[in-house]
Chain A
């Protein structure tokens, strides 16, 4: 490397980013983060800890151990991985001495980079949801495990004619929603991750709680499993026709019926619910089968026979079993569970599929192949060099 560059700040930064020392600092941090997050998730639950340690939304945080905050700021693992990626790319691909001797190492580093790019794609684009079906039922809608969305359905001739969606991402990040295709806009005044709309007739009102129509939002302790949280929002509806009055109401996941509004002689229902995710084809559960371990209520086998129904009407029968998912058009269906949980004797059983859309689904496998190939080449080269030198140094028999 040019000596002037090496002495310049740019050169120093480049040298630092490509150094083995930097890689060691990063890898040590990742080890520490993984260890602490494993300890903390026992108390906080997987979702909360994943968000705290591995989401890109925060840069630093304070870990907790045994419910006590440790006032040592730690970097979020997402950004540590970004630095590791830079280190691997600059050090393992760009700076490394090129040549046949290092070809195996370069291939292995490329495999690790593929793994990390896959991880970033997963973090950005992966969608997870579930689909619950009784035998004979069909659906093309999966619902999110965690995200709540507001659905605004227009009712015409006693039928739902159109459904507008404020996605979970928008609902969390924004508080004013301009709806160009509707005669009103919405403002979210309050968002609670785990709260119920409760009646003042049954529950003592908290002093600061806003009451609308004898109901208020009451926060509850979040269960460790975040999929059990019940979100609630307070919404203000602002008609675009200023002669119409505004409306203020709660939407809550614990609803038995949606909120209905009439604006500009059009009728809409609004509901807060787990975000739906339309699938490119319909799934029909034709048969669910389960078997218990003898004399116990523990399931030994559970599997679902389904029909995958495409838009052209074709029905493709597929069996989905534990550890044998169905992969089609970039979506994977896993046999996740079944219910009801207690397996009550006379209840109709349902089957639950976990549905995952991850463009980088298979990348860890490809990464493994590439890294293994690189290491294999490297080790064979090293072995052959060793054998060559061993034979070369072998004393000749006189």
Chain B
């Protein structure tokens, strides 16, 4: 095939392409599409201001006229979370992204988290770390007061502790934890307090735990 013929074919091919694909766009459309309400569609915050709509909690905090007081142990958190009481030998250590308040003591550690994922999945993850039977219903758990008038579910387990993510197992450990939905957060967010220490837990440590969770506070 000679060159002019190839050129001719190329020009005709491109012209055919030019004729293709007329795609007129209308600017107006009637919308009748709906979808079913599912278990993921929970009632959102209604009549939110533009700031509530678009600003993350940290930015809203910056606009607030007063700032939350610093809490013992840990850096300031946008939630304003702080503890009015801590155990006698609890040493505050640096907060991390997932440990808003973080303490260690001679036999173990305790920390407060605000994160997402639902109550039962998290409780079951904790229980699995101790090879304890999981739950399907929160009503099987006892409750205790937590922070700003919340009632937290109390989770207890003991035995061999498998923290996961490649960290070594620890034998003869005990878990005492509290978890409740976090009303100031996004849907599915919760606040949890997790104490892991050598088993068995002393009565004093348990008392410190329950006083600590009751005296937690955060911005409403």
Chain A residues close to B by CB (< 8 Å): 16, 19, 21-22, 25-26, 29, 56-60, 75-76, 79-80, 82-83, 134-141, 153, 155, 158-167, 170, 173-181, 196-199, 201-202, 212-215, 249-250, 252, 254-260, 267, 269, 271, 276, 278, 292, 295, 297, 343-348, 350
The distance in angstroms between the C-alpha atoms of A165 and B29, with both chains bound, is 13
A170–B29 contact, CB under 8 A? yes
* Chain B residues whose C-beta falls within 8 Å of the C-beta of A136 in the assembled complex: 118, 120-121, 124
Q: Assuming the A-B contacts A25-B10, A134-B121, A256-B55, are A159 and B43 also in contact, with contact meaning beta carbons closer than 8 angstroms in the complex? A: yes
**A59, A161, A252, A344 — which one has the most chain B CB atoms within 10 A of its CB?**
A59
In the complex with contacts A181-B32, A258-B48, A80-B9 CB distance below 8 A = no
Q: Is the CB of B54 within 8 A of A255?
A: yes
Minimum CB distance partner of A164 in chain B: B34
B117 proximal to A (CB < 8 A):
yes
Contacts of A295 on B, CB cut-off 8 Å? 166
Shortest distance from the beta carbon of A125 to any chain B beta carbon, whole Å: 17
> B52–A166 contact, CB under 8 A?
no
Contact A163 B34 (CB under 8 A): yes
Q: By the criterion CB–CB under 8 Å, are B53 and A258 in contact?
A: yes
A344 touching B98 by the CB < 8 A rule? yes
Q: Within 8 Å CB of B118, what residues of A?
A: 134, 136-137, 348
- In the complex, are the beta carbons of A259 and B30 less than 8 A apart? no
Please tell me if B113 contacts chain A, counting CB pairs below 8 Å. yes
Q: Please pick, from A58, A278, A297, the residue contacting B36 in the complex, using a CB distance under 8 A.
A: A278
Contact call A176/B34, Cβ cutoff below 8 A: no
Distance in Å from the Cβ of B130 to the closest Cβ of chain A? 14
Cβ–Cβ contact B14 & A75, under 8 A: yes
Given known pairs A75-B17, A176-B27, A346-B113, the reply for A165 and B33 (CB within 8 Å) is yes
Interface, chain B (partner A; CB < 8 A)? 1, 5-6, 9-10, 12-14, 16-18, 20-21, 23, 25-56, 59, 63, 97-99, 113, 115-118, 120-122, 124-125, 163-167, 186, 194
| Chain A residues whose CB sits within 8 angstroms of the CB of B113 once the complex forms | 346
CA distance A344 to B111 in the complex (A): 15
Are B21 and A21 within 8 A (Cβ)? no
A153's nearest neighbour on chain B, judged by CB, is B41
In the bound assembly, the distance between CA atoms of A22 and B98 in angstroms comes to: 63
By a CB distance below 8 angstroms, the chain B residues around A271 are 44
A59 to B30, CA, bound (A): 28
Q: How many A-B residue pairs have CB under 8 A?
A: 192
* Residues B63 and A59 in contact, CB atoms below 8 Å apart: no
CB-CB under 8 A from B55, the residues of chain A are 199, 256
The reply to whether A344 and B97 contact each other, CB–CB distance below 8 Å, is yes
Q: Which of B31, B36, B44: most chain A CB closer than 10 A?
A: B31
CB-based contact B121/A137 at 8 Å? yes
CB-nearest residue of chain A to B48: A257
**In the bound complex, how far is the Cα of B14 from the Cα of A341, in angstroms?**
47
- In the assembled complex, 17 residue pairs joining A and B whose CB atoms fall closer than 8 Å, in A order, are A22-B13, A59-B17, A75-B13, A83-B16, A164-B31, A164-B34, A165-B33, A176-B28, A177-B29, A180-B32, A181-B32, A199-B59, A255-B53, A255-B54, A256-B56, A260-B48, A267-B46
The CA of A344 and the CA of B165, in the complex, are separated in Å by 8
Shortest beta-carbon distance from A190 to chain B in Å: 14
Given A59-B21, A176-B27, A199-B51, is A16 in contact with B121 using a C-beta cutoff of 8 Å? no
Residues of A close to B35: CB separation below 8 A: 163, 165, 276, 278
Complex contact B5–A179 (CB within 8 A): no
Check A297 against B166 for contact (C-beta < 8 Å). Answer: yes
> A135, B124: Cβ atoms under 8 Å?
yes
Cross-chain contact A83 with B44 (CB below 8 angstroms) = no
The answer to whether B125 touches A135 (Cβ under 8 A) is: yes
Residues of A contacting B53 in the complex (Cβ-Cβ under 8 angstroms): 197, 252, 255-259
Tell which of B1, B51, B52 has the most Cβ of chain A within 10 Å. B51
| Contact residues in B for A163 (Cβ distance below 8 Å) | 34-37, 41
Q: Are B59 and A257 in contact (CB under 8 A)?
A: no
Complex contacts, A139 vs chain B, CB 8 Å: 38-40
